[in-house]
Structure 1
Amino acid sequence: MSDQERLSTLRSYAWTLELLGEALVQHDEMLECEHNPRLSFRNTAGIHQAIRIISRLASEQCGKVMEQAGRASTD
């Protein structure tokens, strides 16, 4: 994967994280109107899990870009 492809992937991850953050905000607002704590816990846990996974993937891609940049500067 080229650096450009990695940066594009990182941009997609950041955009997805932004959407998931917005989903959490909307979910919190919805909870004020609903009375099903079990369902709300599962939804929130699922969103948090998705955020953790995408953050880890983004971190891995950042590491690869930095590693290649380090190699390029020593060449």
Structure 2
Amino acid sequence: MTDRERLSTLQSYVWTLELLGEALVQHDEVLECEHNPQLSFRNTAGIHQAIRIISRLASEQFAKLEAMKEEGER
């Protein structure tokens, strides 16, 4: 994978994290306003798990970019 591809992947991960974060905010607002039984702890847990997975993947890609940068400086 090239640097440009890694950066593009990281960018898509970050955008996805932003969308998931916004979903959590909206979810919290709905729970506060409506106490909607259709929105469950399971939904929230799923969003949190997705955030953790995407964060880990982004960290791995960033570490690879950093390692390549260090190799290039030697």
Q: Which runs of 5+ in 2 are unaligned?
A: none
Given that 1:6 and 1:61 are in contact with CA atoms closer than 8 Å, whether structure 2 keeps it comes out as yes
Match of 2:18 in 1: 18
Q: Which runs of 5+ in 1 are unaligned?
A: none
Moved over 4 A (4+): none
Post-superposition CA distance 1:13-65 (Å, at most 9, x none): 0000000000000000111203428x420010000000000000000000000
Given that 1:31 and 1:40 are in contact with CA atoms closer than 8 Å, whether structure 2 keeps it comes out as no
TM-score, reference length from structure 2 = 0.92
Alignment: residue pair count: 73
Q: Distance in 2 between matches of 1:5 and 1:36?
A: 42
Q: SS of 2:40's equivalent?
A: helix
- Equivalences for residues 1-75 of structure 1 within 5 A: 1-32=1-32, 33-36=34-37, 39-74=39-74
Q: Distance in 2 between matches of 1:5 and 1:67?
A: 15
Please report the RMSD computed on the Cα atoms of aligned residues, expressed in angstroms. 1.3
Identity %: 70
